[in-house]
Amino acid sequence: VGVDVLDRSLDNQGRLHSHRLLSTEWGLPNIVKAILGTNRTVTYIKEHSVVDPVEKKMVLSSTNITLTNLVSVDERLVYTPHPENPEKTLLTQEAIITVKGVSLSSYLETLMANTISSNARKGREALEWVIGELTSTRDSIKSTMAAASMEN
């Protein structure tokens, strides 16, 4: 639903640190809302990411800060170059989901794990789209510059 950048800075090693506040709509089925005893489905998540251009690595950690009396989700994503093909990216995803005081906790944990997996796929697709757009723009600029240098 929304993303706010709370802080963004470079450290002395050239790594970009970002702290963001995310708001998202958890599309919970009505039965799950009834079990949890809440109609609230908008939740807030704090996220910290570190982009290391030297190591070519991005680490993203997030945890929910609302509905923590019912469920906590701690997630960590690590993007690194693939060890056998550095032109490809390897994504390692870890999530710890804890549902508190609910008799159907395994059902809810599975539901949330599936949602996290789906969102990771969407995030990867978005990242690949951005990289494609940047590559296309770079290639267009290179072609324009090459043509301009031939004219001179």
**Residue 137 structural domain:** 2-151
Residue 152 banded pLDDT, cuts 50, 70, 90? low
Q: Which three-class secondary structure state does DSSP give residue 91?
A: strand
Burial pattern 10-37, b for ≥16 Cβ within 10 A else e, equals eeeeebeeeebebebebebeeebeebbe
Alpha carbon distance 12, 14 (integer Å): 6
pTM confidence score = 0.65
**Mean pLDDT throughout 114-130?**
74
Question: Tens digits of per-residue pLDDT, 45-89?
Answer: 999 999 999 999 999 999 999 878 877 889 999 999 999 998 888
Higher pLDDT, 105 or 122: 122
Number of domains present in the structure of the chain = 1
